[in-house]
Amino acid sequence: MALFIGTHQNKLDAKGRVSIPAQFRSVLKKMSHAGEGAAVAPMYLRPSHQHACIEGWTELGFEALSGPVAEGYSLFSPEHEDIVLALFGDACTMETDKEGRIMLPASLVAHAGLTENVVFIGTRNTFQIWEPEAGARRLAEAREKAKASGFSVRAGALA
């Protein structure tokens, strides 16, 4: 299984372009309909509804997200409309250029408070794009919360 792991810092240029880390591009290619040999890495970006960051999803992962949404609510209910608007209304699809860069939409840059530098943080099946100091604070907060909750992994889960 291909996973988004690690923390990677890159520059956001004046045009709003940023290079996706090479390891993340590899995961994006593997988790697309075209497969690992694809020339470009398709992805979906959306503003996080929990934090001031951008979420990055693989093509297959974002499509899988729509399944539980469709099954969990009555199609024409107000709750269904709220959840699909929240998840998909601000999302955008992207493909990297030949150099592995994407152009971040201004609305996502503003949501995450991005300026000159950005940090990509792997979160297993997705990744997040943060303003570097905010990303470092969130990573530290997550470590502390995991430690305080007695974080552990079941022995059978590692087999």
Structural domains of the chain, with CATH:
7-59+92-149 (3.40.1550.20)
Measured at the CA of 45, the angle between CA 59 and CA 5, to 5 degrees, comes to 75
Q: Confidence band (pLDDT; 50, 70, 90) for 44?
A: very high
- What is d(CA 129, CA 131) in angstroms, rounded to the nearest whole number? 7
| 120 pLDDT higher than 70 | yes
The torsion region of residue 35 among left (phi > 0), alpha (psi -120 to 50) and beta comes to left
- With a pLDDT cut of 90, the percent of the chain lying above it is 72
**pTM score:** 0.91
| 156 pLDDT higher than 70 | no
**Cα–Cα nearest to 55, from 148, 132, 136, 122:** 122
